[in-house]
Chain A
């Protein structure tokens, strides 16, 4: 048998039909659904008299619109259109008999945090969701990617997707990460290297010692931003850490089924001489705490650098950089650490897990945030919130001056009350720094949770290593 990559193996195990031109029907194991990209798909089913083929494999949770303030049980905290969208998900989940975690359920949270937490995401699966950050689930060695609403409808009706196979890219991070450098810094540095279109047409497998050394939480952070590099999906081969994370989760297999699953999962790795269409190697020791200066996730620099000049770039990027620097209100050549911050957001499907909160708490312990700073920590799920409270992290955040919120997407995309006002500048642990992403005219600098915590204390972008 010819050697295969991990992606090849998962792909081959899910092809339900292949046409002569290579167009495949890829069978989908798990379909995650949230309120923003699904109402039109369910409406489409009704209009055509179709139904959900596998409601038992379809999991719904509201997250984008949901307020994260403590008073959110009060319906007045949501705008009318948000309420309609959340209500539509509620109706659709019940009418079609889906697994459902409503806002009132302690397990509710960001769909990409809830899926793994509840054991829906397992190695070797195909996982889709009408959300580009579905790439997160690749951390388990499952082929996971975002789809549009028409494809959501297609998966609901047929449990398959029409797909052609992508190419294989290997991103290897060799050696050990230096102190103060995290999974977020790895994934941002990779995007800085490849650009936001560098992964287009590929599925990326992340490997190497620094990736192996990451916890499952860290691996999810890395895969989460594979889409920001343009890749269809990011993957990390499952290992003992993966199995340990999955074992005992509510929807993970038990007993003999667990043993059978484990035996297959242990075959899920890229063969030594598998073919790669592209290989990128980065030394972990060369990675520093990263920050974005512009309005594209590829605008990444180490915190020790200066804002670039537009003339440093080539082609269309010159105009784009000029536009970014103006939008961001920066001066070419200024040190990144001179950039003053008025808002700090820690949370999102990129960095809203327990390890992220621990990293922020380690910096914030016994400290106060800068006067006038608006700072919030939004756990990725109700269970993350409960755990952080149990570990005493919530007290550290509150004592430091952070708002301690309920679970949701919050300020990552500002579809809920958490938004930036024009000109406000935020150090955010989320994944996108696009113009207007966190609110019209808002300015976003993407960083790791530890870096965000450091900026909250000093009031400007800060090299967190100086606080360690």
Chain B
């Protein structure tokens, strides 16, 4: 997994609440058996018309946001289906940080497995960064995961919370499975004891 430490990038504003994973990556793109190549279909139904032409008004089609690395969005981002294709598509597009007031649980966890930092901030602070993002390509937002800070283009600094274990994994690009396998002895002993206490499982 790619490491995430610091990021200075263009932020795309998407001021909608309840952006669901069907919107992020519609079902017809879930038929892949790979993880890569989904960036071109990120937000597909909002991004292209029926003839596959780009819809110019959609934020990621605007020239100033084509290279966006940060997405600023509304409440409950990533709700709905558990499809990890959603963070795969976001990362494949080049976005590695999402800022929103809140996230759906499964999507939030999925981000960390894919080198994406989802940051939850109070609505007022998201509003400030949304305005910042609306300024276009010259307004870069800076993220420092170690310090847990976001700096707006005007130099305003916000701090954010992140689980210490998730932070550690993201900063070092660690593979969860490898870490868990180091605890194989605990799993073995749990299994041995469960086979006595709940033998019917």
Contact = CB atoms under 8 A, between A and B. Distances in A.
Interface string A138-182: 000000011111110110011110101000000000000000000
Given A148-B113, A264-B198, A440-B26, A200 B102 contact: yes
B45 A435 contact: yes
Given A17-B187, A19-B165, A27-B187, A148 B84 contact: yes
Nearest to A320: B17
Contact of A432 (B80, B164, B200): B80
Nearest to A36: B30
B27 interface: yes
A427 to B, nearest CB: 19
Contact of A296 (B18, B163, B164): B18
Interface string A200-235: 110000000000000000000000000100101000
Interface in B105-162: 105-106, 109-110, 113-114, 123
A249 interface: no
A415 B163 CA distance: 35
A196 B20 CA distance: 11
Interface stretch (A254-262, A269-277, A344-352): A254-262
A264 B201 CA distance: 12
Contacts of B87: 148
Interface stretch (A37-45, A69-77, A335-343, A452-460): A37-45
Contact of A84 (B16, B23, B31, B176): B31
A82 interface: yes
Contact of A150 (B16, B165, B176): B176
B81 interface: yes
Contact of B82 (A27, A40, A131, A261): A131
Contacts of A258: 200
Interface residues of A, number: 77
A36 B30 CA distance: 7
B109 A415 contact: no
Given A150-B114, A264-B198, A316 B75 contact: yes
A296 B28 CA distance: 20
Contact of B22 (A43, A158, A432): A432
Given A17-B186, A17-B187, A25 B180 contact: yes
A271 B181 CA distance: 35
B190 A200 contact: no
Contacts of B190: 16-17, 27
A148 B82 contact: yes
B47 interface: no
B52 to A, nearest CB: 12
A173 B128 CA distance: 41
B65 to A, nearest CB: 19
A241 interface: no
A164 B105 CA distance: 12
Contact of A25 (B80, B164, B183, B198): B183
A435 to B, nearest CB: 6
A232 B105 CA distance: 7
Given A84-B31, A230-B104, A197 B183 contact: no
Contact of B76 (A39, A230, A253, A415): A230
A437 interface: yes
B75 A146 contact: no
Contacts of B35: 40, 149
A434 B23 contact: yes
A122 to B, nearest CB: 8
A148 B109 contact: yes
Interface string B21-65: 011001110111111000000000100001000000000000000
Name the 9 nearest CB pairs between A and B, nearest first: A253-B200, A150-B113, A16-B190, A148-B110, A81-B31, A148-B84, A39-B33, A316-B17, A146-B82
15 contacts: A16-B183, A25-B183, A25-B186, A25-B187, A27-B190, A36-B31, A37-B84, A65-B31, A157-B180, A253-B200, A258-B200, A296-B18, A298-B18, A432-B22, A435-B22
Given A264-B198, A316-B75, A437-B22, 5 more contacts: A13-B198, A132-B82, A158-B177, A257-B200, A413-B27
